[in-house]
Amino acid sequence: MENVKAIIDHLKSGEKVTCPRCKKAILEPFGTTYDKAHSFSCPECNYEAHYTPAIDIE
């Protein structure tokens, strides 16, 4: 199983990440920009990577 957290970390830092499933396309942010997206999807195979932000209660 791929490490989704690592994938998301790369994406949010502005790096292009190739889809870990089909390896044919780069993952794209869903509905917003790379730095704001919480979901990324692959246009080739519809793979989805979801990022759940940690909620810090202080």
Binding mask 7-36 for Zn ion (x = CB under 5 A): ------------x-xx--------------
In the list 8, 37, 42, 49, the residue contacting Zn ion (rule: CB under 5 A) is: 42
3-state SS record for the chain: CCCHHHHHHHHHCCCCCECCCCCCCECEECCCCCCCCCEEECCCCCCEEECCCCCCCC
Nearer to Zn ion (CB atom), residue 40 or residue 54: 40
Least separation in angstroms between residue 31's CB and Zn ion is 18
